[in-house]
Structure 1
Amino acid sequence: MTLLILGLILWSLAHFYKRLMPAHRAKLGDKGKGPIAIALIIALLLMIFGYRWAEFIPVWSPPAFFTHINNLLMLIALFVFGMSATTGRLRGKMRHPQLVAVKIWAIAHLMVNGDLASIILFGGMLVWAVASVILINRSEEWVRPEAGDAKKDKLLVIITVVSFVVITVIHALLGVSPFGG
């Protein structure tokens, strides 16, 4: 669990650095991107291995039907995440689509994972996403981008479904069945 918690802390600090110490970050310029990227990669590795190696400590038993809700929420999370990159009509409908997607992802995973390591990982990422939205909203004005072509939204739907299938296959290869069982 220690690696998992250290990973969450490093992930949060690396992301919050720009917001909490903007003058210091600005002094680093483009040279500061490398160390932050390295810190984020290390954080991801700590979280992945910390989660995989954590002892399974059951806290609660999710009902089986939550699996279906989780899968629906994951489709929504992928779609919302993709809204950050779309140039379609949906561009600009939401200020923080990636962070909203992380919140949906975290809640979906909290619904179907009742062990302590899952609660720490997904709960920690949920707290990070909420705090990130608050920090960003306090630190910068948002200029809503203009809506684009509706055809790009159709492409987003296709990319969402393909991404869901790929993620499902990866989960299955890791020994985790996204459909229960």
Structure 2
Amino acid sequence: MPLLILGLLLWAGAHFFKRLAPDTRGRMGDKGKGLIAVVLIVSVVLMVIGYRGADYIPIWEPPVFLRHLNNLLMVLAFYVFGVGATKGLLSARIRHPQLTGFKIWAVAHLLVNGDLAAIVLFGGLLAWAVAEVIVINRSQPWDRPKTVSIKGDFTALVIGLVLMSIAAAIHIWLGVNPFGG
């Protein structure tokens, strides 16, 4: 569990660094981007190792039907995450599509994982995403995208389905079937 928590703290710290210390981050230039990327990779590795190594401490037993809701939410999460990059119609309505998609992803995982390590991991990432939105909203006004199209929404959906398929394959490869069984 300590590695999991350290990974979460590094993840949050690396993401907040730009917002909370913009002058310091700015002085670091392009080398700073590389350093932040390394910290983020290390944080993900620590979260994975910490999560997989944590003792299974059940808190609640998720009902089986929540797997189906989880999978539906995952399609939505991947779609919403991609809308910002593809400039779909939804990107003019949701200020933070990537963080919104990330929050949907975290909630979906909380629905189907009732052990302490999962609650710490996915709950911690959800808390980070909520806090990130608050910090961004307080620090800068929103400049709504002007050029959006339904084509962007369609592209985001197709890309989201492909990425979800890849994520599902990785889960299965790791021994966790997201579709049950």
Query: Shorter-normalised TM-score: what interval?
Result: over 0.9
Q: What amino acid sits opposite 2:84 in the alignment?
A: S
Residues 49-95 of structure 1, C-alpha deviations (whole Å, 9 max, x = no match): 11111111111101111111101110100000001211333332211
Partner of 1:62: 62
Deviant stretches of 4+, over 4 Å: none
Partner of 1:108: 108
Single out whichever of 51-60 and 81-90 deviates more from structure 2: 81-90
Uncovered stretches (5+) of structure 1, i.e. residues with no partner: none
Alignment length (residue pairs): 181
Shift of 1:179: 1.5
Partner of 1:91: 91
Aligned identity (percent) is 57
Question: Does structure 2 retain, via aligned residues, the 8 Å contact 1:171–1:178?
Answer: yes
TM, length-normalised to structure 1: 0.95
Uncovered stretches (5+) of structure 2, i.e. residues with no partner: none
Matches within 5 A, 1:154-173: 154-173=154-173
Q: What amino acid sits opposite 2:12 in the alignment?
A: S
Shift of 1:152: 3.0
Q: Structure 2: how far apart are the matches of 1:168 and 1:63?
A: 20
Shift of 1:11: 0.5
Shift of 1:30: 2.1
Matches within 5 A, 1:1-150: 1-150=1-150
Question: Does structure 2 retain, via aligned residues, the 8 Å contact 1:91–1:146?
Answer: no
Shift of 1:142: 1.3
Question: Does structure 2 retain, via aligned residues, the 8 Å contact 1:10–1:40?
Answer: yes
Q: Structure 1: how far apart are the matches of 2:30 and 2:82?
A: 26
Residues 116-136 of structure 1, C-alpha deviations (whole Å, 9 max, x = no match): 110000000000000000000
Question: Does structure 1 retain, via aligned residues, the 8 Å contact 2:88–2:150?
Answer: yes
Single out whichever of 122-131 and 29-38 deviates more from structure 2: 29-38
Q: Structure 2: how far apart are the matches of 1:91 and 1:131?
A: 20
Question: Does structure 1 retain, via aligned residues, the 8 Å contact 2:80–2:156?
Answer: no
Q: What amino acid sits opposite 1:67 in the alignment?
A: R
RMSD: 1.3
Give the SS at the match of 1:114.
coil
Give the SS at the match of 2:91.
coil
Give the SS at the match of 1:83.
helix
Q: Structure 2: how far apart are the matches of 1:44 and 1:32?
A: 18
Question: Does structure 2 retain, via aligned residues, the 8 Å contact 1:106–1:122?
Answer: yes
